[in-house]
Structure 1
Amino acid sequence: LGYNNITCQGIEILADALNNNTTLEMLNLFNNNISDKGVYYLTKILSLNNSNLKILFLGENQITDTGAQYLSEMLKKNQTLIQLGLSTNKISDQGVIVLANTLAHYNTTLEELHLWGNKLISDTCIDSLADMLVYNRTLNELVLFDCNISNTSKKRLQEVVQPKKYFRLFL
């Protein structure tokens, strides 16, 4: 469903269809017109654990830190999602800090998080990302290239994941 100019109204209808859907495992909503309100509708349903959705791509939309907060709350409850793509949105350090805290302390299913191309992500969230990488046992891929992270912070993240043999960090 990528590249379809889906708005909040469309997402609300789609979210209702996801409730109790046990066959759909991947939902690609890349490059639509989804705002935080649309994310709210999706996360409300995905928090119920009535679906089998494993992969959710929300890249190139209008998602901000508010949407990241909704996603964070959903990730505390959801038991099926293993891959979350949030590339090229409007998520800043504050949104990343909230997501990282959830992944460090509450979520045990997510394996891949893609945040690349979010230009508002900077060194401010590196401590939270480092903690997430230390405490989370299921995440095995983090994609952060094309963000505003310094070489010093990139090196720090590389050092944190170095003991994790199969971890993929893209900076």
Structure 2
Amino acid sequence: MKIILTLFENVQCRLEKLKLNCISITDEGCAALASAFNSNLRELDLSRNQIGDTGVTEISSLLRNSQTLQILRLSDCSISEEGYKALSSALRSNPSHLIELDLTGNDPGPSGVKELSDLLQDPNCQLNTLR
């Protein structure tokens, strides 16, 4: 992960899509990714990694600061109610750019479903696709 993140250190980096699915990224990897975030990134796929609620909380900090991220895929990442709350909170604080969010195969529980339902009712929410 550290080697991949060195790409972001280059100011000329124009990376727009980053697909890191099914490569055993942990919550520490998510923290490193969030801290090295590239402002040009439009699509991030972390599907089938066991990042859990701690990892998605780190990714949520990335969402709070992003002006370009449009697609976020977090399917099968062991995210539960706590992670859904973190995502919803981040999207409420910066709702303008994310248009697709994939959370397939996670367990939102009743409060996670409510968080997402409330988010979708927000007139500032731009999500077109929620899985």
2:75 to 61, 77, 87: 87
Provide the alpha-carbon RMSD of the alignment.
1.4
Kept after mapping to 2: 8 A contact 1:33/1:62: yes
Alignment of 1:27 onto 2:18: yes
Name which one, 1 or 2, has greater alpha-carbon Rg: 1
Alignment of 1:37 onto 2:28: yes
1:129 to 102, 116, 119: 116
Q: What residue identity is the alignment partner of 1:35?
A: T
Once residues 17 and 30 of structure 2 are traced to their aligned partners in structure 1, the CA distance between those partners, rounded to angstroms, is: 16
**Runs (4+) off by over 4 Å:** none
Kept after mapping to 2: 8 A contact 1:21/1:52: no
Kindly tell me: are residues 68 and 21 of structure 1, through their superposed partners in 2, closer, same or farther at Cα, counting changes over 3 Å?
farther
The alpha-carbon deviation at position 51 of structure 1 amounts to: 3.5
The alpha-carbon deviation at position 96 of structure 1 amounts to: 0.5
Q: Structure 2: 5+ residue runs without aligned partners?
A: none
Once residues 88 and 56 of structure 1 are traced to their aligned partners in structure 2, the CA distance between those partners, rounded to angstroms, is: 14
* Deviations, residues 77-113 of structure 1 (Å, cap 9, x unaligned): 1111100000001110110011012112323211111
Once residues 101 and 51 of structure 1 are traced to their aligned partners in structure 2, the CA distance between those partners, rounded to angstroms, is: 20
Kept after mapping to 2: 8 A contact 1:81/1:109: yes
Q: Structure 1: 5+ residue runs without aligned partners?
A: 1-10, 144-171
TM-score (structure 2 length as normaliser): 0.90
Kept after mapping to 2: 8 A contact 1:83/1:112: yes
Kindly tell me: are residues 13 and 70 of structure 1, through their superposed partners in 2, closer, same or farther at Cα, counting changes over 3 Å?
same
Secondary structure of the corresponding residue to residue 89 of structure 1: coil
Secondary structure of the corresponding residue to residue 100 of structure 1: helix
Alignment of 1:12 onto 2:2: yes
* Deviations, residues 10-44 of structure 1 (Å, cap 9, x unaligned): x1221121233542111111111100000111111
Q: What residue identity is the alignment partner of 2:113?
A: I
Secondary structure of the corresponding residue to residue 99 of structure 1: helix
Question: Which one scores higher on RCO, CA 8 angstroms, separation ≥ 6?
Answer: 2
Kept after mapping to 2: 8 A contact 1:28/1:56: yes
